[in-house]
Amino acid sequence: MIQFCDVCKKFGEQTVLDHVSLTVFDGQVLFIVGKSGAGKSVLVKHLIGLLQPDTGQIFFDGDEITHWKEKDFYPLRLKCAMVFQHSTLFDSMSLIENVALPLRKHRHLSHQESLKQALEKLALLGMESYADQLPAMIGDGMRKRVAIARALMLEPNYVIFDEPTTGLDPLSAEQVDQLIRRLSDELKVTSLVVSHDLRSIFTVSDRIVMLYEGKIHFDGTPEQFAACEDPVIYQFVRALPDGPMV
């Protein structure tokens, strides 16, 4: 379980998180929405130690991580993977070698066994037939799917997806959406998904949290979100089909 308790974060004079409290329950697919610059990425970066709060507390699986040092986060990052908006692959390595990399780094497996497991992860994303290609040979949507396969390699309990479908072709976007749903339903993975993608929000999420002016403006189910007459939410839902709000 993840808990943010009364977390505040400022950059200079700009308050980005203003007394944010949020509990994320295990196995949930929680979408974090809000317009560009609302603090979505800032919020999730606190979980893996890329940012630390000015005040408030953060708990991860019962440990208070608020003031952890960089090296304290190493083991946490093995069970909480983050897929960044612009994840990069190593250009000189085949897709399967890219995916196998975390195993080679953190587990003592034979080369053969690590490739076998990497192929299984590629198959989850519908990418197994491209295993031996180089990143430059495939499109952005496929590269993103490979980056997600790599993030899943150490079988994390938590996965943070920062805008996983932004800019993807429809097939890749749907594959990513289905995967997020299956990770929760079949493997009980807890996912935090930062997204602008209306279709993903309504087909994949169990719960939606909206950040607005540094605060949690909405916290509820997709049904409640769709039916909400609050003007900020109404405008957000209406504006999304035209692309990300700027």
Tell whether residue 41 is a contact of Mg ion (CB under 5 A): yes
The CB density around residue 158, as the number of other CB atoms within 10 Å, is: 21
Tell whether residue 36 is a contact of ligand ADP (CB under 6 A): yes
Tell whether residue 217 is a contact of ligand ADP (CB under 6 A): no
Q: What whole-number distance in Å separates Cα of residue 185 and Cα of residue 144? A: 22
Which residues ranging from 184 to 203 are in contact with ligand ADP (CB under 6 A)?
none
CA dihedral sign, ordered 47, 206, 150, 104? positive
Q: What whole-number distance in Å separates Cα of residue 104 and Cα of residue 140? A: 25
CB of 118 to ligand ADP, least distance (A): 30
Which range, of 39-47, 75-83, 99-107, 210-218, touches Mg ion by CB under 5 A?
39-47
CA 165 to chain centroid, in Å, comes to 10
CB of 70 to Mg ion, least distance (A): 22
Hey, what are 104's tokens? 């080679």
Out of 30, 38, 83, 204, the only residue in the binding site for ligand ADP (CB under 6 A) is 38
Q: What whole-number distance in Å separates Cα of residue 30 and Cα of residue 73? A: 22
Interior CA angle at 52 toward 41 and 179, to 5°?
A: 35
Q: What whole-number distance in Å separates Cα of residue 137 and Cα of residue 121? A: 19
State the number of binding residues for Mg ion (CB under 5 A): 1
Q: What, of Mg ion, ligand ADP, none, does residue 53 touch, CB below 5 to 8 Å by kind?
A: none
Tell whether residue 41 is a contact of ligand ADP (CB under 6 A): yes
CB of 61 to Mg ion, least distance (A): 25
Which range, of 29-37, 54-62, 167-175, 229-237, touches ligand ADP by CB under 6 A?
29-37
16 versus 96: smaller Cβ distance to ligand ADP? 16
Tell whether residue 118 is a contact of ligand ADP (CB under 6 A): no
Out of 20, 42, 125, 179, the only residue in the binding site for ligand ADP (CB under 6 A) is 42
- Asked if 240 and 196 touch (Cβ cutoff 8 Å), the reply is yes
- Asked if 83 and 176 touch (Cβ cutoff 8 Å), the reply is no
Residues lying near ligand ADP in the complex (CB under 6 A): 11, 16, 34, 36-42
